[in-house]
Chain A
Amino acid sequence: MQTAPFDYYRPETIGEAVDLLTSVDGARPIAGGHSLLPAMKLRVASPAALVDIGRIPGLSEITRTGDSLTIGALATHSAVAASDLAKSDCPVLADTAAHIGDPQVRNRGTIGGSLSHADPAADYPTLMRAIGATIHVTGSGGGERSISADDFFVGLFMTGLAAGELVTAVEVPVMSAGQSGVYLKHRHPASSYAVVGVAAIVTVDGGSCAAAGIGIGGVTGKPERASTAEAALVGNAPSNETVEAAAAAVAGDLADPIGDHYASGEFRVHLASVLTKRALAEAFGEVSA
């Protein structure tokens, strides 16, 4: 099944790519293409031009600097899942990547593409909100800036990227002692996307929860941070009661849930609560074990 015709550019540097994206009418960037090409084949999207950033050098490394990991935008999901650095320093990142789509999709899909597409049913965005990631972008004239995950995800398929801006890397904190992260999802039986995804990052210090980040995807138009639920954790012992209380608080953080034929908004909120409970229990279990 063919897409509509388009012009194709293959820049060799980020600068060139950004220039093309700002100068060519209707141009869109493509890397792995696993969000864009399916939409183009169904002619839901018909960009006039594609700017293929897939070969720009230096954008797929995974490196550690200080207390954070930097993942190049072109790192595929399977590269992240297989990365020793990710597995040791931020296991929840590797684990999340390992559960995106299916093996073939993971071999092509990239972290930068997933974040830029901002599909509410995607996995990475949810984790990025929970973990407090920073997204590095480059815009016209080579201007670089960093956007926090909280500011990056604006709405349904909408990000804080300005026209022509490209994601170049994602920075996530490494897991410190006493810290653990878990990502769980209710997988759609057909698409494999997350109907609801929950990422929970907890820090336990001196027998109580010192910090918590809970990200919830699939329930509203963008990945949410469950701040009421987080507040219910911090300062409390990681007991079943604490976990239950946090899970119960999730609904309050999820206004205007979306729904479809498979799962209503009400059910999505419920799933978010159950998955939060389970993710927290697992995360606390890992820290105390």
Chain B
Amino acid sequence: MEVSIKVNGKSYEREVEPRTLLVDFIREDVGLTGTNVGCDTTQCGACTVHLDGAAVKSCTVLAVQADGASVNTIESLANGELHAMQQAFTEKHGLQCGFCTSGMIMTAVKLVESHPDIEEDDIRHGLEGNLCRCTGYENIVRAVAEGARRFDPHSPWEMDPAEHKITLREAERRARERSRT
């Protein structure tokens, strides 16, 4: 059947089989492969995207269920500059192999959106639908806390807003600078 789904702001009208999963629509029909599939039982969260603003596992949504909806994937986050959460993930080394990372970041963005001062326990609890096998989560938790902090201009650690929008190269330069002093 015909569906129309807005992915990262652009509408895609496609003929799909009813059984087409949203994740397959994104990966195959739209051609965005940043959203990964790591399991078949709705556990791992690698496929997490935002469906009408809510984090969902796109392996457990049919494309026909998302007909008319707006979907945002990992590819939508960086807009010339990295999103604060992406920035935090690289700075805190919140990824190793990178396979779970897209889903992890998409979940994290929603987790902290309304909780800039989120506590470590709540981050850990909030990530229960995302599995990572490399990092032991320690640096992911740090990254999410850092990302949360940067989201909110009113947080106790208020930062220069420009800090939210530095490039990766610049962040690296700063990190090197920091390690030299």
User: Do A and B touch (CB < 8 Å)?
Assistant: yes
A residues whose Cβ falls under 8 Å from a Cβ of B = 1-8, 10, 30, 33-34, 37-38, 41-42, 50, 52, 54, 78, 101-105, 107-108, 190-192
When distances are taken between beta carbons in the complex, the residues of chain A under 8 Å from B107 are 103-104
Looking at the assembled complex, report how far the CB atom of A208 sits from the nearest CB atom of chain B, in whole angstroms: 37
**A23 to B139, alpha carbons, bound, how many Å?**
54
Q: Is the CB of B126 within 8 A of A103?
A: yes
Interface locus among B61-69, B90-98, B145-153: B61-69
Write the nearest CB–CB distance from A65 to chain B, whole angstroms: 28
B17 at the interface (CB under 8 A from A): yes
Residues of B with Cβ closer than 8 Å to A? Answer: 1, 17-19, 21, 24, 37, 40-43, 45, 48, 51, 54-57, 59-62, 64-65, 107, 110-111, 126, 128-130
Task: Label chain B's interface by main secondary structure.
Answer: mixed
Assess whether A191 is in contact with B43, with CB atoms less than 8 Å apart. Answer: yes
Nearest A residue to B126, CB-CB: A103
Contacts of A37 in B (CB 8 A): 42, 60-62
Select from chain A the residue with minimum beta-carbon distance to B67.
Answer: A10
Q: Is there an interface contact between B64 and A38, defined as CB atoms closer than 8 Å?
A: no
Q: What residues on B are CB-neighbors of A108 within 8 Å? A: 56-57, 60-61
Best-buried of A7, A101, A107 by chain B (most CB within 10 Å) = A107
- The residue of chain B having its C-beta at the shortest distance from the C-beta of A101 within the complex is B129
Whether A8 contacts B110 in the complex (CB less than 8 A), given A42-B41, A191-B43, A192-B128, comes out as no
Task: Find chain A residues with CB under 8 A from B45 CB.
Answer: 102, 104
Give the residues in chain B near A52, CB-CB below 8 Å: 64-65
Q: Using A52-B64, A103-B128 as known contacts, say yes or no to A6 and B56 having CB atoms under 8 A apart.
A: no
Which 7 pairs across A and B sit closest by C-beta, in order of nearness? A102-B129, A8-B18, A107-B54, A1-B40, A102-B128, A104-B129, A3-B19
A246 to chain B, nearest CB (A): 30
Q: Which of B21, B55, B60 contacts A2 (CB 8 A)?
A: B21
